[in-house]
Amino acid sequence: MPKKPSVDLNLLAREVGVDQDAIDREVIEMGVTAAEAAARMALAAAPYTEIARVCGYHSPASARSAVMRIIAAGHDDTDDYRAMRMMESQRLMGLLRSVWDRATDKKDPDHLAYNRQAAVLIGQHAKLHGLDAPQAVTFITPEHDVFEQVVARTAEALTAGAVQEADIFAEVVEDDEEAS
Q: Which of 72, 103, 124 is the last residue of a domain?
A: 72
Same domain, 27 and 90: no
Three-state DSSP state, 172: coil
Number of domains comprising the chain = 2
Three-state secondary structure along 44-65? CCCCHHHHHHHHCCCCHHHHHH
Same domain, 62 and 91: no
What are the residues whose beta carbons fall under 8 Å from the beta carbon of 23, sequence distance 6 or more? 9, 10, 13
Same domain, 64 and 100: no
pLDDT digits (tens, 9 = 90+) for 120-170: 999 999 998 888 877 777 777 778 888 888 888 888 888 776 666 777 888
In a domain, 176, yes or no: no
The domain of 112 spans: 77-156
In a domain, 107, yes or no: yes
pTM for the full model? 0.37
Residue 83: pLDDT over 60: yes
Cα separation of 171 and 154, whole Å? 38
User: Residue 105 — very low, low, confident or very high, per pLDDT cuts 50/70/90?
Assistant: very high
Same domain, 85 and 132: yes
